Amino acid sequence: MRIRFEPAGVTTEVEVGKTLLEAADAAGVEIESVCGGQGTCAKCKVLASGSLSVPNDLELDGLTPTELAEGYRLACQAVITGDLQVMVPEGSRISQVSILQEGVQGAAQLQPWVHRHTLRVSPATLEDQISDLANVSRTWQQQNGAELSLTLRALRQLPFALRERDGHITAIAVDEHSVRMEAGDGPAHLLGIAFDIGTTTVVGYLLDLESGKQLAVSSLLNPQTRYGDDVVSRIEFSMRDETGLETLQREIVQALNRIISETTRAASVSPEDIFAVTVVGNTTMHHLFLGISPAALARSPYVPAATRALCLRAGELGLAVYPDAQVCVLPNIAGWVGADTVGVILATNLPSHEEVALAIDIGTNGEMALGSRRRLVTCSTAAGPAFEGAHLSCGMRAADGAIDTVAIDGDVSWHTIGESAPRGICGSGLVDLIAEMLRVGVIDPTGMMQDGATLRANGHKSLAERISQQGRHRAFLLVESDKGAGGRPIQVSQRDVRELQLAKGAIRAGIEILMKELGIGPDDVKRVYLAGAFGNYIRPASALAIGLIPRFPNAQIVPVGNAAGSGAKMALLSATARRHASEILTMVEYLELSARPDFQEEFAEAMAFE
Ligand code: FES
């Protein structure tokens, strides 16, 4: 069947029985699919005309009667039965997300674990018929006082390298293994690349391992998002689809290879000179990158396949760098606290703090660590999706057209990313909006949205006009249809407020339980590190206003940007930092919140606004 996608102007041919989402995938047309095609997020709305299955129950639930009458369908549910024309509206297209690249650089000194060793090897003679390997080993031993160990690839290079420049050769060693033998002085740069694989975004930092200089950085949307926005939907996809795990691994490796290609091109260097790679990510991203089934992470007792740091060969993972380059995947702490948190702990140097500090990283999940050099505890909360716009009727990622700040001063004003017409609201905008709605009394401390009459009686006439009844729930009109992208209004429903309450309740309860575990109160916390979207996109004042974090009267608030990525860079540049990453695993205590009898109580309490 011929399917034409507009406005991309792409036509593809697919078999009867495929969904519109599968056809779009085949045509390279990107459609939002937050739930991974489960039919529950209603983000994949398209306008279709032609031959399709009748709308199923999920479509009848996810689309309004007006949308159904206009011809809107859920791309993941509508099954192709004949030729079609499909219009992908702006709100359903994946747009460029804002990706946080900058972080902090901890105190790691440059202490490379990749070295160049230049050797002058005397040639073998008829009188001394020494093998090439024994010959180089002898010179190496004299120069370095240690045994030479080399990979098969390096051994294959050795005879050529030795004879090309009369025994003047360079060995590139990663840790104690020589991985490349080259005639002359070797490559101009010894390179390394550090990756932060986030559920939504992937960032790569290309570094010169001898100078410590960052040569280039590049980032992109994690291509796995097309199989689900959050880790749970990706785990489900890997289990549901026969080739799901393989697909997800291939997607992430291709994404890393794109970053390798972009950064090396930008720095005018060769990917063949990348000898070291470090990787951080949450435990699910870690497993998917390595092609390990994450199924056990989704079931009690939520056990990962491996926690300790792993060192692997780039070639066996399919990374387009020097094939014998070493890929160091930082350790995971637990099933839901991964190597990205190890990166944050490394970058903020929590294990050497004299006084108690808290580090919170809110991405798609919320992970936190609290403590000092005496004791360090960590936990994870299933909190993130609301802060990344998922699970909200009006939510979207921090991309072009997302409302990222809101103020209510008599009337409502907002700002969008890229100054474009608003398409939805992202986490930081939602936190702002709820803080403002709370301040002016549009919602009460329990989160209940007030009716128009109450607001009018309290002197908020223009706000009262923004309240409407949508079925059984109230909604607040944030953007009028004449200002919204595609002439669509943006409303925040009572359910959206409840979603945010669930998310903020989980994070707040996590912090409270960590404090309880250490037997301390907010007064004892002297530093709060805000990592990830937090502190960079979410305004701390609004986060405090809605009670997302407690008021820490004695604490200095320090935004640390992409601290997970900073940790990966530190481990790339310093053998000591890499060792510390492994030591963190033995120092940190993990608290499984679902096993805590007090979690539900804390959570219920934390749901309310202060
Ligand atoms: S409803 Fe289609 S991808 Fe979520």
pLDDT of residue 81: 92
Is residue 561 within 8 A of residue 103, CB to CB? The reply is yes
77 alpha carbon – ligand 1 mean position (Å): 8
Candidate of 30, 74, 232, 392 to mutate for ligand 1, largest count of ligand atoms within 8 Å of Cβ: 74
pLDDT confidence tier of residue 102, bands split at 50, 70 and 90:
low
Ligand 1 lined by 43 (C-beta under 6 Å): yes
Query: Which two structure tokens, joined as six digits, stand for 71?
Result: 């011809």
Ligand 1 lined by 74 (C-beta under 6 Å): yes
Ligand 1 lined by 35 (C-beta under 6 Å): yes
Ligand 1 lined by 34 (C-beta under 6 Å): yes
E strand or H helix at 81: strand 80-87
Candidate of 19, 38, 392 to mutate for ligand 1, largest count of ligand atoms within 8 Å of Cβ: 38
pLDDT of residue 390: 64
Q: Report the alpha-carbon distance of residue 368 to residue 511 in Å, rounded.
A: 7
Query: Which two structure tokens, joined as six digits, stand for 582?
Result: 């492994």
**pLDDT tens digits for range 417-435:** 888 889 889 888 999 999 9
203 alpha carbon – ligand 1 mean position (Å): 26
Candidate of 43, 72, 391 to mutate for ligand 1, largest count of ligand atoms within 8 Å of Cβ: 43
pLDDT confidence tier of residue 104, bands split at 50, 70 and 90:
low
Q: Which of 350, 390, 294, 384 is nearest to 514 (CA)?
A: 350
Average pLDDT of the chain, as a whole number: 91
Sequence-ordered list of residues with C-beta below 8 angstroms from that of 34, at least 6 positions apart, any chain:
41, 43, 228, 229, 230, 233, 390, 391
**pLDDT tens digits for range 65-98:** 888 888 899 999 999 999 999 998 877 877 655 5
Cis before residue 301, ω within 30 degrees of 0?
A: yes
Cis before residue 7, ω within 30 degrees of 0?
A: yes
Burial class (CB in 10 A: 0-12, 13-18, 19+), 190: buried
For the CA of 75, the nearest atom of ligand 1: 2
Does the structure show a pLDDT above 70 at 559? yes
Is residue 328 within 8 A of residue 278, CB to CB? The reply is yes
Candidate of 41, 58, 63, 93 to mutate for ligand 1, largest count of ligand atoms within 8 Å of Cβ: 41
252 in helix, strand or coil?
helix
Does the structure show a pLDDT above 80 at 111? yes
DSSP symbol at 418: G
350 alpha carbon – ligand 1 mean position (Å): 40
pLDDT confidence tier of residue 486, bands split at 50, 70 and 90:
confident
165 alpha carbon – ligand 1 mean position (Å): 62
228 alpha carbon – ligand 1 mean position (Å): 9
Candidate of 22, 35, 57, 79 to mutate for ligand 1, largest count of ligand atoms within 8 Å of Cβ: 35
- List strand residue ranges (DSSP E) for 98-152, in order: 114-120, 149-150
Ligand 1 lined by 226 (C-beta under 6 Å): no
Model-level pTM? Answer: 0.85
28 in helix, strand or coil?
coil
234 alpha carbon – ligand 1 mean position (Å): 13
- Which residues pair with residue 362 across a beta bridge? 366, 532
pLDDT of residue 590: 96
Ligand 1 lined by 33 (C-beta under 6 Å): yes
Expressed in percent and rounded to 5, the helix, strand and coil fractions of the chain are 35, 30, 35
For residue 587, the number of C-alpha atoms closer than 13 Å in the C-beta half-sphere is 21
76 alpha carbon – ligand 1 mean position (Å): 6
For residue 285, the number of C-alpha atoms closer than 13 Å in the C-beta half-sphere is 33
For the CA of 44, the nearest atom of ligand 1: 2
**pLDDT tens digits for range 561-596:** 899 999 999 999 999 999 999 999 999 999 999 889
Is residue 253 within 8 A of residue 306, CB to CB? The reply is no
Is residue 591 within 8 A of residue 126, CB to CB? The reply is no
Phi-psi region of 343 (alpha: psi -120 to 50; beta: other; left: phi over 0): alpha
